[in-house]
Amino acid sequence: MVTIDDIKAAADRIRDVAVRTPLLPAGWADPDRPLWIKPESLQAIGAFKVRGAFNALARLDEPVRARGVVTYSSGNHAQAVAFAAAAFGVPAHVVMPEETPDIKIEATRGYGAEVVICGPGQREIVAAQVVKRTGGVLVPPFDHPDVIAGQGTIGLEIAHDLPDVENVLVPVSGGGLAAGVGTAIKALCPNARVYGVEPELAADTVEGLRLGHRVDWSIEDRNRTIADGLRSQPSDLTFAHLQQVLDGMITVTEDEIRDAVRQLAYQARLVAEPSGATPLAAYLKQATPPGRTVVVISGGNIEPPMLREILAG
Amino acid sequence: MVTIDDIKAAADRIRDVAVRTPLLPAGWADPDRPLWIKPESLQAIGAFKVRGAFNALARLDEPVRARGVVTYSSGNHAQAVAFAAAAFGVPAHVVMPEETPDIKIEATRGYGAEVVICGPGQREIVAAQVVKRTGGVLVPPFDHPDVIAGQGTIGLEIAHDLPDVENVLVPVSGGGLAAGVGTAIKALCPNARVYGVEPELAADTVEGLRLGHRVDWSIEDRNRTIADGLRSQPSDLTFAHLQQVLDGMITVTEDEIRDAVRQLAYQARLVAEPSGATPLAAYLKQATPPGRTVVVISGGNIEPPMLREILAG
């Protein structure tokens, strides 16, 4: 299991490449539930994923890293690995499912990575083929301790900036973010509650945690949600962390997600992608006890037509 | 004249109320002109003005401050004074011209201030009447050393985060922001160039600096620009600072301003008001020598219909 020391070590490694995002006080929120926003959408790649990817690459031995890296991702982790590989000057191959928004494919190519498009549910298989062909190292999007530790640096920063935080809300997809943030918060702010947030239409982790074991939802079911970054499912490793560090799960509807994207733009002056807005959606429906609350806005990579459509809603 | 020591003292005063905004690296920008964004739009009131207003109130003797404060503003300074007055628990009266966007009037009232609407060009006269009636202290939007020093803390942060900055671009309206930021940058990064940015349609300072003295543009002329925060003109005090600290002025067209608002939303994931986007507009037209450039995005208070209209553009 990832420890707070792993997360502190990751923080030292990523210091020069990750933006130290501030906690933004949201004066427009319910005074009984004072709200702060952690805007990971402001990372250079538009999402928190740079933290885990860079930490994972930094941990590789130099001759191993020089062979190049391979990953699969519906988007933000792809850009993160491409960005980190460029920072280290090593090649990157990124397998992306065909339903990935164009903006994320183009951004990944923009960092110099080679993109391999695959069919739905095929990305892990195709990535394994690319590893075999290129001799590169697989940097998975969440199923790795170094990735979890990197994402956990967000929790470290929250604990530093708001030591008396009472609720922390994070989106759950593959679970790396929630595992890392939860580990950091539980270690440093033991009285704080940590909640995972999922769309109703991709709520496999809600069901899994209730049953005490991972469950599989079909990729067709998970693809129904507008939150394209939340269509993955935890691995054994991340699920074990979630069982240990989460105080609960909250589901949000598609309309609630859209409303949260609007509120972030109009009230917080932030462009968020639907996945990134889910913690605010959970906050707005008052699904947690009152108290000082931090929502982690995980990313802001939304295609302009979708942003315009949601803002018009 | 405001000194770097005044600005450092202001930084200590405002530490607990102003967000320490990060410099956001803009990987999508021209590699020959590496770009960082200083997102003052993320302050609680949505604009940098909280720095100057809070510093000015903090400098008042307690019995004086207790009589309440009065100001006039087309918007963001209004919210800043209302916010700062609420923080100190003293009453605030704010004179706002009738063309002020509703979002700014409502936000000012939201902080508990009493709003007095006035006709075009009447705000200073009406504010003087309110001062006489209430016995409060006038906190002008820019014509005061404590306000300039507060805004200058932005320059202090830029110099700390990017000591080898080469170009700093700031909007110019009443000139308090440019005066303060320029003073800090010139003191701490003597090799950096500081540019003021104005809309072509409200370019009184461009003309004034060329002629060597302040010039008056009619309020009707200045009201033509979409950048409603840049319709003021420098005072003797701010103009004297601008003459000393600016290396040049850049004008931008209305279309360039709109394009910059779009780029900030789509590339930088930030909602900016037109005034706040003008430094990026100046950057995009390559109006400065190449080099490491910081654009100060001064505010994000834009009404939803205007944001939607510009994004659709």
Reported as a pLDDT band with limits 50, 70 and 90, residue A196 is very high
A30-60 pLDDT tens trace: 989 999 999 999 999 999 999 999 999 999 9
Edge-to-edge strands of the sheet including A167-171?
A24-25, A35-39, A293-297, A167-171, A193-199, A248-252
Q: In the predicted model, is pLDDT for residue B143 greater than 90?
A: yes
Element (H, E) at A25: strand A24-25
Are residues B43 and B68 located together in one domain of the fold?
no
CB contact under 8 A, B269 and A27: no
B87-96 pLDDT tens trace: 999 999 999 9
Tens digit of each residue's pLDDT (9 = 90 or more) over A197-222: 999 999 999 999 999 999 999 989 99
Identify all chain B residues contacting A304, using CB atoms and an 8 Å cutoff: 266, 311
Average pLDDT, chain A: 96
Spatial distance between the Cα atoms of A94 and A71, rounded to a whole number of angstroms: 5
Chain A residue with minimum CA distance to B303: A266
Asked if B21 and B78 sit in the same domain, the reply is no
Task: Show the 3-state SS of A116-152.
Answer: EEECCCCHHHHHHHHHHHHCCEECCCCCCHHHHHHHH
Same domain, A166 and A290: yes
**Three-state DSSP class for A93?**
strand
> Is residue A150 predicted with pLDDT exceeding 90?
yes
pLDDT band at B103 (very low <50, low <70, confident <90, very high): confident
Task: Tell me the chain A residues in contact with residue B46 when contact means C-beta distances shorter than 8 Å.
Answer: 269
Measured CA distances, B93 to A215, A223, A262, B51, B151 (Å):
59, 52, 31, 19, 22
Do A271 and B272 count as a contact with CB atoms less than 8 A apart? no
Average pLDDT over residues B284-289: 96
Q: Least CA distance to B27: which residue of chain A?
A: A44
Out of A28, A271, A311, name the one closest to residue B269 (CB): A271
Q: Which of A65-74, A232-241, A272-281, B52-61 has the lowest mean pLDDT?
A: A65-74
Question: Do strands A114-118 and A92-97 pair parallel, antiparallel, or not at all (unpaired)?
Answer: parallel
Domain containing residue B85: 50-138
CB neighbourhood size of A102 (10 A)? 8
Report the residue count for chain B: 313
- What pLDDT shows up at residue B26? 96
C-alpha neighbours within 13 Å on the C-beta side of residue A119:
1
Question: Which residues of chain B have a CB within 8 Å of the CB of A42?
Answer: 22, 24, 39, 268-270
CB contacts < 8 Å between A and B, how many?
A: 75
- C-alpha dihedral over B135, B141, B147, B150, to 10 degrees? 130
What pLDDT was estimated at residue B276? 98
Last-in-domain residue among B107, B138, B169: B138
- Min mean pLDDT across A92-101, A124-133, A134-143, B44-53 is at A92-101
- Is a pLDDT exceeding 90 seen at residue A101? no
Domain co-membership, B86 together with B19? no
What is the DSSP code (8-state) at residue A22?
P
Instruction: Report chain B residues touching chain A, CB-CB < 8 A.
Output: 19-22, 24-28, 39, 41-42, 44-46, 83, 110, 265-266, 268-272, 300-301, 304, 307-308, 311-312
**pLDDT range class, residue B121, cuts 50, 70, 90:** confident
Is B84 found in the same domain as B18? no
Cβ distance A19 to B42 less than 8 Å, yes or no, reads no
DSSP string, A45-56: TSBTTHHHHHHH
Give the one of B25, B272, B311 whose C-beta lies nearest to A307's C-beta.
B311
Task: Check whether A85 has a pLDDT greater than 80.
Answer: yes
| Minimum distance, in Å, between the CA of residue A21 and any CA atom of chain B | 7
Helix (H) or strand (E) holding A287: none
Number of domains in chain B: 2
Tokens 């909602």 map to which residue? B271
Residue A123 has pLDDT above 80, yes or no: yes
Question: What's residue B104's pLDDT?
Answer: 81
Q: What is the mean pLDDT of chain B?
A: 96
| B156 vs A125: CA distance, rounded Å | 51
B265 closest CB neighbour out of A44, A45, A271: A271
Whether residue B83 has pLDDT greater than 90: yes
Best residue in A79, A109, A266, A269 for a mutation probing chain B (most B CBs within 10 Å): A269
For residues A309 and B62, what is the distance between their CA atoms, to the nearest angstrom? 50
Among A138, A164, A194, the domain-final residue is A138
Q: How far apart are CA A198 and CA A176, in angstroms?
A: 14
Question: Is the Cβ pair B308, A307 closer than 8 Å?
Answer: no
Check whether residue A90 and residue A12 sit in a common domain: no
The pLDDT of residue B99: 81
A133 and A148 share one domain: no
Residue B41 and residue B225 in contact, taking contact as beta carbons nearer than 8 Å: no
Q: Are residues B39 and B101 in the same domain?
A: no
Mean pLDDT of the region B191-218: 98
A23 and A56 fall within a common domain: no
Q: Which residue of A has its CA nearest to B47?
A: A269
- List the catalytic residues of B: 49, 298
pLDDT at B120: 82
Residue A218, burial from CB neighbour count under 10 angstroms (0-12, 13-18, 19+): exposed
Among A112, A138, A164, where does a domain finish? Answer: A138
Q: In angstroms, rounded to a whole number, what is the distance separating the alpha carbons of residues A75 and A103?
A: 9
Residue closest to B102 by CA, chosen among B69, B129, B125, B79: B79
Q: And the tokens for A227?
A: 């939150």
What is the interface pTM, i.e. ipTM, of the complex?
0.95
Residue B114 to residue B126: CA distance in whole angstroms = 14
Mean local confidence (pLDDT), B228-239: 95
Q: Which of B263, B268, B190, B198 is nearest to B226 (CA)?
A: B198
Token output for B13: 């005063």
Residue B269 to residue A269, Cβ atoms within 8 A: no
CB atoms A39 and B41 under 8 Å:
no
Q: Are residues A62 and A37 in the same domain?
A: no
Query: How far apart, in whole angstroms, are the C-alpha atoms of residue A233 and residue A216?
Result: 8
Judgement on whether residues B190 and B296 belong to the same structural domain of the protein:
yes
CA distances A70 to A134, B17, B84, B186, Å, are: 9, 44, 51, 46
Question: Which among A39, A44, A307 is the nearest to B27, CB-wise?
Answer: A44
CATH classification at residue B177:
3.40.50.1100
Q: What pLDDT digit, counting tens, does each position of A240-265 carry?
A: 999 999 999 999 999 999 999 999 99
* Domain identity same for B201 and B276: yes
Q: What is the pLDDT of residue B111?
A: 92
Residue A166 has pLDDT above 90, yes or no: yes
User: In a 3-state reduction of DSSP, which class is residue A196?
Assistant: strand
Interface touch A21/B25, C-beta < 8 Å: no
